[in-house]
Amino acid sequence: MESNTRDTEVQKYFDWKIVLVVFSTLTLMGLIFLIKLRNYFSSMVNSELFDKYYNVFVAILFLNMSLSTYTITLYYYRIQKPGMKGQPGKYGDLGDPGKSVSCDLFTPKTRRFRLQKEVKAEKYEVNNEIIRNATLDLDRRRIDPKWFNIRTMDEDSRHSSENYESPQNNILGNKFSNCRPNCRIQNGNENADRGFVNQGIGVIEDVYNKRQDKLNTLYSTKPFNGAIFNYDINHLKTRGKINSLQFTYDKNQPMRKKKIKIGMVGSQLGNTANKGKGDEFTCPPHSSIYKIETLHDLDKDNKSGKIVGMKFHCKDIASGKHVKILNGENNFVDSVFFGVEPEANNKLYKYGKVECGNYQRCARGADGQKKCKGRPGFLSNVTAIDDDDGIIALRFNRCSYLEPNPIKQPGEEEMENDETS
């Protein structure tokens, strides 16, 4: 089948490199010619004005020949390169239909339909005995993980852990301060109208009760995963003070591995006028605070000693592995601090530390051997002493652990609202 299109004629041009060499050679030859014949032209004209402006004439002529060489060379360089695609042109007139070689487009076609067979319903039976004898595997059902407070063995709870020491024994800050009557004890009483009195500062959430089909406001045991600060620090970073503090938590239920939804815990402690430098931090997703170090000052000149620096450590809520934190300089570090960096060998201030241990559940197996399962613990409840100038002391009341499959044991019918979230 012959094509009715014509081949586009391609016009041939000189190579721009050849043009450049030729015109550059002519320019240089002209320059040499004019310089060599200067004396000859001077003897022919015999004029002082000619001798005075001859060099200017040669320079102008050389400049013009150089520009001409550049212009002509650029022309041949550009003309051989395809330009930008232009706007589409107008469509031409539709041609006459030709003869089809492989398919028939013009002969009328008749479509035929086939009748489907009539569907007949078939009887089937269900063996109810198999369903009646089936068992429900509670270990494999989907159950959302829950947070529980770790209890000591003396408290005699199913959440009691062996070798667990309560964080209440380690008070951070100036616990011997004579701050009365200017200081306040912050123990969560700002939520007294919601029924929470002297239960510490912790997470309060609305939890959906599926049986009752309503939201119940409960004191949750979710841990702290960050904090917001205002603090003072000198240029040597040796003296300072924590002016205000407020902890945060992750509102996701359950906590996710790649996303955080920040919620505020309680109210702002210390100075509420946002005095000093403001800053904040958040543990990476799926992690929370398990260890805090502090430095504090003692009472001096009728002024109560304050916490001057705090350092925070985070770890994964499931594996318990230590995780790095993104600091204010966008660097991942092992810990972050605000104010004066807490170090045990600091000679100006007193050092303090609190850390949550792990929850251990132990039982004897069929072979009589004692086996234990560990869960990492995290700080989740705090009581504070503060005034309008800063934070005096902090006492963490509880550590929490995450139970990934919290199936209640037989005989445990009651729900401990103060332990579940």
Query: pLDDT category, 126, cuts 50, 70, 90?
Result: low
Q: Report H helices in 111-198.
A: 128-132
As a whole number, the mean pLDDT across the chain is: 81
pLDDT at 269 over 90: yes
pLDDT at 59 over 50: yes
Overall average pLDDT of the 205-227 stretch: 82
Q: What is the pTM of this model?
A: 0.61
Q: Which of residues 155 and 409 earns the better pLDDT score?
A: 155
Query: pLDDT category, 3, cuts 50, 70, 90?
Result: very low
Overall average pLDDT of the 337-359 stretch: 92
pLDDT of residue 414: 36
Helix (H, G, I), strand (E, B) or coil at 333: strand
The β-bridge partners of 300 are: 303
CA atoms within 13 A on the CB side of 332: 6
> H-helix or E-strand containing 370?
strand 370-375
Residue at token pair 């005034």? 387
Cα separation, 115 vs 125, in Å, equals: 31
Q: Tell me: the pLDDT tens digits for 305-345?
A: 999 999 999 999 998 999 999 988 888 999 999 999 999 99
Residues in the chain: 421
Query: pLDDT category, 282, cuts 50, 70, 90?
Result: very high
pLDDT of residue 2: 47
In the chain, what's the furthest Cα-to-Cα distance?
133
Query: Which amino acid appears at position 251 of this protein?
Result: K
pLDDT of residue 421: 43
pLDDT of residue 355: 93
| Whether CATH 3.50.50.60 fits 143-403 | no
pLDDT at 296 over 50: yes
Query: pLDDT category, 354, cuts 50, 70, 90?
Result: very high
pLDDT of residue 404: 78
Cα separation, 138 vs 132, in Å, equals: 17
pLDDT of residue 350: 93
Domain range list for the chain:
16-79, 143-403
pLDDT at 183 over 80: yes
> H-helix or E-strand containing 351?
strand 350-355
Overall average pLDDT of the 16-40 stretch: 87
pLDDT of residue 339: 94
**Least confident residue range of 50-64, 313-327, 358-372:** 358-372
Percent of all residues in the chain with a pLDDT value above 90, rounded to a whole number: 35
pLDDT at 109 over 90: no
Cα separation, 13 vs 417, in Å, equals: 91
pLDDT at 241 over 80: yes
The β-bridge partners of 336 are: 312
Q: β-pairing, 322-323 with 370-375?
A: unpaired
Q: Tell me: the pLDDT tens digits for 32-46?
A: 888 888 888 878 877
Q: How many other CB atoms are found less than 10 A from the CB of residue 323?
A: 18
pLDDT at 407 over 70: no
**Least confident residue range of 75-79, 84-88, 170-174, 373-377:** 84-88
Cα separation, 114 vs 132, in Å, equals: 47
How open is the CA angle 51-56-57, to the nearest 5 degrees?
85
pLDDT of residue 115: 62
Query: pLDDT category, 137, cuts 50, 70, 90?
Result: low
The β-bridge partners of 310 are: 294, 338
